[in-house]
Every structure is written in C-alpha cells, then in structure tokens.
C-alpha cells in the first residue's frame, strides 16, 4: 500500500514556478530517496506534505487521508526532520522530548520509557546540557529522536546529511537504517552516495517535475548507455581493437588510453558479445574485459539533462 | 486541548530561563515601591531645592498623590517594559522555525495561540496586582488617612487597559513576523487613540479613558456613562483582536 | 534630615535590595558568559554597574547572546 501519494502537485511563488504537476507515491516499508539539485523543489514538496504550505493545485494523501493546509490530521502519522532543525534552546534534550511526547498525546508512563529508548538510539541519553550548547550533529540526532516520538508511519527528512561532517553522516545514516525496520522513510538529498547506501527507491526531481522514478536497480538498468572497458596486453592491441570497432555503430564514445579501451553501448550484453567476437577475429587476448556498473551519479546526470 | 498544559509549561520555563519573569518581577516591584516614595518625597525635595526667599505653597501630599504616581509609573514604565519583553513572543518562534515541530506533531495552532496569550495574561495579572499590593501597603503606611473608595474601579480600569494592549500585541504577532511590528502596532494604536481624543464624540467612547482618567475615578469613586462606554468598547476590542489574530494564525505559513 | 531618612527606610531598604539582586544576577551571568569577548564584557560590566536598574535589565534582555 502507498503510504504517501502525491498527485499533480503544483506550486508557484509569485511568477516563479517551483513544482509542475508532480506525481509520485511511496510504498510502505521502504526508504525513499528524493533527489534533486538545490532549489529543485524538494523542500517545497515536503512542507506541503506537512500542511505548512498551501499547494496551488493537486493533492497529497498520507495513509489514505488528504493533507489539509494548516492543522492537519495526517501529521499524526508523520515525523519530520527539517534540514536545519532548531529546538527550544532553553530546554534540555529530555525536556524537549517530554514536550514532544505530551503534544503527541502519549501517556506519561509510556513516554518516559520511549524517550530513554530514543535518546539512547541517537546517543544523547546522558546529556544534561541545554540545547543552546548543542553542535549541528547533535541537533540533527535529537531531530531524529523527536521525529520518531509518535511512532510515525512516515518519517520525512529534509537533507538530513548535507550539513554534517563525515562521521556525523555515518551516524545519521546508520540511524536511518535502524529506523527503516519500523517506519517508512522519505528523505531528500543531493548526496548520491547516501542514496546508494540506504535507499530502496528514488524519485528524481528536476525543474519542478519528476523526471525519473523507480528502484535504484531499475534506474541503473534503464540508463540509455552502458559503459564497458577492455584492458589489452599492449598498446598496439588496443589500437587494433579501436580500429576494428570504430565502424560498428553498436559502440560509441570509444576512447583509447594506452592499452585500455573504454566505450559505451546502448545494449551492454550485446556489446560484450561483439567485443569478444572482434577480439577473437583479431586474435587478441585481453588482460581484462568488463561491463561497468552504472552509478547513481550517471543516472542523475542523465535524468536532469 | 491536548498539549495546552505542556505548551504552557514550556512557555513558563522559557520566560523563567530567559530572565523575563525575573526582570518583570523587579520592574513591577520597583514601580510598586517608587510610587508611594515619590509621592511622599517629591514635595520635600522640591522645597529643599527652592530658594528660601521664594515662598511657594505646597500642599501636603495625600494618598491621592501616591496613586497618581502609581498610575503614571505603571503606564510609563511597567506596561512599556511588559510589552517590550513580550514583543518577541511569536517572532522568535517564526525566526527559528521552532513551531514547525509543534505543529507537525499535531499541536493545534489555536492551542499555541491561546497558550501564549494565557501566559501573558496570567503574568500581567500577577505582576500588576503584586505591584498594586505593594503600593497599597505603603500608601496605608505613609498616608493612614486614605480610603480605598473608588480604588478598585480606577486600578481595575488600568488593568483592563493592559489586557487590551496584550490582546493587540498577540494579534499583531500573528499578522507580522518581525519583532518590531507588534511594538509598532501597539505604539501606533496608542498614537491613534491620542489623536482620536481630539474629537469629543470619540473621546467618550475611547478605551484611552481606562489609562488616563484613573486619578479622577479615584476621587469620583463611581463610573459615568463615558467610562462605561469605554469599558464596553475595550472588551469588544479585546475579543476582536484575539479572534482576528487567531484566524490569521491558523492559516499562517510557519516555515 | 535624619528624621526624614529613617522615615523612608522601610521603603528604601527593599528598593535597595531589589537593585542589588538585579545587579548581582546580571554580574554573575556576565562573568559566566563565554559568548562575549573580554572587551565586550568590560563594557557590559560598566553598563550594569553604572546605569541604575536599566543597565542590568538591558544586559539580561539584549546582552546575553544565548539564542
């Protein structure tokens, strides 16, 4: 079942269009990556889903219920972590969590256990400092803890890793992986390595439109061309191979670098067969021949072309 | 009213830890002390300073002078300090985006709005009457001949005027997002009241009477038609400010 | 004159105590405040000590730089 359904969403600020007819849905139990360049409209989409911003057109459903602007019932199913989370600086982490729990309508007794559990998970359990003394990473971790207080069905994170140092990022991603067991997570980012390490499915947003959506595997498979590489024993062999395949239009963007021939083909499988045939005909024995796996970066660059 | 109590506790912690309550406590207590003191002290100070060759007639101060000082100090110091201290009641939250977490956890916006108003109202009530009690005690001590006739009406009027300004402050904090806008709104509102007072017809309906006729009320000891009209208009305005503010706040963009 | 002063003592003493409490609170906060430079601290200290009542209040409202 789809936990989040966005249909035909449009939004403009003045005469600047931010979202045009955005449609996608997020299945329950997945980690969904929402990718796009800075200013592509990721944050706008998320704030509309939280009822914090009014859409010009289209609708969003969370757990089957339509999101209203202003106070919205759907927020009961949602946890939210903004990109730069700010909390009341005069409270301690525990006090803040108690406030969050009470607002979410959790029983006092149950809340105390839950708060300890969550604070342990994000590594802030013994912290008696007030939030005003927290570092960025600590605030981000507290952000996750407070977003999970109401056992949300959907956790929305806006660029959770972009402001963090490498260690903070690792900590945060491993927390997200843990969270995944119970909650559907949607997170926006432009850091593609994060997407590869945690996301099941992604949608790519460009110029206010969804240009690609699918699982990481599907998107990679759907790339228009596949890269391959042949490593020969001698430069001479490389040159011979290059010559032989230059007339074949199954190959393109072929380059020679010493004994290494790099190139792209629309059909990787077919290209491999042909390459082997050419090598055989030329009686060249390669050191290595391989199909290169596509990276998310290639998928992304092609999608936003 | 889920979360009302929790949010109130958060507000109380905030105002305590940010020294707001502390500052207001001191200011209101000082006003309470200063009023009887200056009523008693000023004439003597004046007569000491003036050349002995000039004779001026200074009537002995009475309890009326003490309350006169109270009204003027309350208007010019305490109320101003109160509005200043609470002018950032919402702007700080907008600025930092801290309300986003509250709203996305399902805390109704009206709860936020009225919890904040309640905290201001209770603070005003507490500090105002504390200041009043101090002045009352010392006024009895220094001017034992004074009475309390008309006291409730004249002091109560000023108290209500304070509530009117607090309601306006809350409302304009919902409409505007900067710290200064609510201050300007309250200041502008007072300026408009003063200008409108030039027209006698408006003057007898104006809420400004609640803050300007206190000494007169203390002596008259009963309300006249104009004051009743003023009380009526003020009550309506308080409701009006609160309601339009809350309507606006329900639909305000918070991110 | 002595007569007058003792007449005012019941009101002057609490007034003095209030000022002292305000002053001490502000000075203690200032001395622990690590968000201000040494130079700013000295300026604030002068403001707190020499501007009666208003000085400490201004510091506590605008000078803390905590959030």
Q: Read off the pLDDT of each residue in B132-156 and give the average, rounded to a whole number.
A: 91
Q: Does B137 have pLDDT greater than 90?
A: yes
Alpha carbons C48 and C45: distance in angstroms, whole number: 5
Q: pLDDT for B22-39, tens place per residue?
A: 999 999 999 999 999 988
CB contact under 8 A, C11 and B30: no
Domain termination site, one of A169, A195, A220: A220
Contacting residues of A for C66, CB less than 8 Å apart: 89-90, 132
Domain spans, chain C: 35-67
Q: Does B158 have pLDDT greater than 90?
A: yes
Whether C53 has its CB under 8 Å from any CB of chain B: the answer is yes
Where helices occur in chain B by DSSP H, the ranges are 4-17, 20-49, 63-73, 79-86, 91-96, 98-104, 109-142, 151-175, 180-196, 200-203, 209-212, 214-220, 225-250
Q: Tell me what pLDDT residue B51 has.
A: 65
CB contact under 8 A, A87 and B101: yes
Alpha carbons A227 and A262: distance in angstroms, whole number: 7
Worst-scoring range by mean pLDDT, A95-99, A182-186, B14-18, B127-131? A182-186
Q: Which of A160-174, B40-54, B161-175 has the highest mean pLDDT?
A: B161-175
| Contact criterion met (CB below 8 Å) for A17 and A41 | no
With cut-offs at 50, 70 and 90, classify the pLDDT of residue A101.
very high
Q: Does A252 have pLDDT greater than 90?
A: no
Q: Read off the pLDDT of each residue in B60-87 and give the average, rounded to a whole number.
A: 92
Which residue of chain B comes nearest to A130, CA vs CA?
Answer: B17
Whether A132 has its CB under 8 Å from any CB of chain C: the answer is yes
Contacting residues of A for B21, CB less than 8 Å apart: none
Q: Are residues A59 and A92 in the same domain?
A: yes
Q: Are residues A261 and A211 in the same domain?
A: no
Q: Tell me what pLDDT residue B57 has.
A: 64
Q: Are residues A260 and A194 in the same domain?
A: no
What average pLDDT does the structure give for chain B? 91
**DSSP letter string over C5-67?**
HHHHHHHHHHHHHHHHHHHHHHHHHHHH-TTS-HHHHHHHHHHHHHSTTHHHHHIIIII----
With cut-offs at 50, 70 and 90, classify the pLDDT of residue B131.
very high
Q: Tell me what pLDDT residue B50 has.
A: 66
Whether B248 has its CB under 8 Å from any CB of chain A: the answer is no
When divided into structural domains, chain A yields a total of 2
The DSSP element (H or E) to which A166 belongs, if any, is: helix A166-179
Q: Given a contact as 3+ CB pairs under 8 Å, which chains touch A?
A: B, C
Q: What domain range includes position A59?
A: 2-220
Q: Which of A69-73, A162-166, A283-287 has the highest mean pLDDT?
A: A283-287
Specify the higher pLDDT residue, B61 or B118.
Answer: B118
CB contact under 8 A, C10 and B141: yes
| Half-sphere exposure at residue B237, Cβ-oriented, CA atoms within 13 angstroms | 22
Q: Tell me what pLDDT residue C3 has.
A: 59
Worst-scoring range by mean pLDDT, A150-154, B162-166, B238-242, B243-247? A150-154
Specify the higher pLDDT residue, A293 or B134.
Answer: B134
Q: Are residues A199 and A129 in the same domain?
A: yes
Domain termination site, one of A204, A220, A236: A220
Q: Are residues A47 and A73 in the same domain?
A: yes
Whether C34 has its CB under 8 Å from any CB of chain A: the answer is no
Q: Are residues A195 and A245 in the same domain?
A: no
Residue with tokens 């997002």: B177
Tokens of A30: 């997945």
CB contact under 8 A, A75 and B100: no
Q: Tell me what pLDDT residue B255 has.
A: 66
CA of C66 vs chain B CAs: smallest distance (Å): 9
Q: Tell me what pLDDT residue A184 has.
A: 92
What percent of chain A lies above the pLDDT cut of 90? 18
Q: Are residues A148 and A103 in the same domain?
A: yes
Q: Residue C53, class by beta-carbon neighbours within 10 Å (0-12 exposed, 13-18 middle, 19+ buried)?
A: middle
Contacting residues of B for C66, CB less than 8 Å apart: 18
ipTM of the complex: 0.90
Residue of C23, C34, C32 whose CA lies nearest to C59: C23
Whether C10 has its CB under 8 Å from any CB of chain B: the answer is yes
Contacting residues of A for B2, CB less than 8 Å apart: 103, 105
């Amino acid at each position: 079942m789809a936990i989040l359904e966005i249909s035909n969403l449009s939004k403009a600020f003045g005469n600047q269009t931010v979202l045009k007819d955005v449609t996608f849905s997020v299945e329950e139990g997945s980690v969904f990556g929402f990718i796009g360049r800075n200013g592509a409209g990721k944050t706008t989409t998320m704030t509309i889903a939280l009822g914090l911003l009014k859409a010009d057109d289209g609708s969003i459903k969370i757990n089957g219920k339509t999101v209203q602007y202003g106070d919205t019932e759907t927020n009961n199913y949602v946890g939210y972590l903004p990109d730069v989370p700010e909390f009341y600086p005069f409270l301690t982490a525990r006090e803040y969590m108690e406030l969050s729990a009470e607002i979410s309508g959790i029983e006092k007794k149950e809340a105390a256990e839950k708060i300890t559990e969550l604070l342990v998970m994000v590594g802030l359990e013994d912290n008696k400092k007030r939030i005003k003394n927290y570092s960025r990473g600590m605030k981000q971790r507290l952000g996750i803890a407070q977003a999970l207080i109401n056992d949300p069905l959907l956790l929305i994170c806006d660029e959770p890793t972009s402001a963090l140092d490498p260690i903070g990022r690792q900590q945060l991603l491993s927390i997200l992986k843990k969270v995944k067991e119970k909650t559907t997570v949607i997170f926006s980012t432009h850091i593609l390595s994060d997407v590869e390490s945690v996301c099941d499915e992604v949608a790519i947003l460009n110029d206010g439109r969804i240009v690609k959506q699918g699982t990481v595997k599907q998107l990679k498979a759907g790339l228009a061309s596949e890269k391959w590489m042949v490593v020969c024993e001698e430069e001479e062999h490389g040159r011979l191979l290059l010559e032989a395949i230059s007339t074949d239009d199954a190959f393109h963007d072929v380059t020679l670098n010493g004994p290494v021939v790099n190139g792209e083909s629309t059909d990787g499988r077919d290209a491999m067969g042909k390459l082997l045939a050419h090598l055989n005909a030329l009686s060249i024995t390669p050191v290595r021949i391989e199909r290169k796996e596509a990276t998310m970066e290639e998928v992304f660059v092609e999608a936003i072309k | 009213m889920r979360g009302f109590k929790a949010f109130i506790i958060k507000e109380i912690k905030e105002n305590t830890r940010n020294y707001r309550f502390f500052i207001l406590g001191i200011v209101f207590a000082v006003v309470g002390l200063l009023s009887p003191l200056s009523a008693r002290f000023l004439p003597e100070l004046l007569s000491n300073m003036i050349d002995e060759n000039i004779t001026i007639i200074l009537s002995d101060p009475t309890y009326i002078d003490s309350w006169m000082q109270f009204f003027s100090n309350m208007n010019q110091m305490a109320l101003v300090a109160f509005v200043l201290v609470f002018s950032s009641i919402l702007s700080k939250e907008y600025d930092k985006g801290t309300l986003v977490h509250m709203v996305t956890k399902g805390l109704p916006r009206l709860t936020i709005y009225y919890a904040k108003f309640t905290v201001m109202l209770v603070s005003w009530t507490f500090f105002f009457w504390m200041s009043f009690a101090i002045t009352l005690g010392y006024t009895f001590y220094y001017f034992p001949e004074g009475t309390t006739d008309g006291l409730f009406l004249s002091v109560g009027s000023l108290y209500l005027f304070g509530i009117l300004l607090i309601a306006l402050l809350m409302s304009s904090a919902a409409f505007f997002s900067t710290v200064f806008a609510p201050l300007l709104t309250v200041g502008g509102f007072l300026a408009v009241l003063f200008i409108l007072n030039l027209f006698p017809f408006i003057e007898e309906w104006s809420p400004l009477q609640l803050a300007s006729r206190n000494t007169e009320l203390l002596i008259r000891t009963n309300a006249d038609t104009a004051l009743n009209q003023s009380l009526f208009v003020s009550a309506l305005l308080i409701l009006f400010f609160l309601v339009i503010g809350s309507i606006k706040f329900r639909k305000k963009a918070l991110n | 004159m002595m007569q007058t002063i003792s007449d005012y003592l019941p009101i002057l003493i609490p007034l003095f105590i209030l000022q002292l409490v305000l002053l001490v609170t502000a000075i203690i906060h200032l001395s622990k405040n690590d968000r201000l430079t040494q130079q700013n601290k000295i300026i604030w200290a002068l403001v707190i000590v020499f501007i009666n009542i208003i000085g400490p209040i201004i510091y506590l409202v605008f000078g803390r730089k905590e959030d």
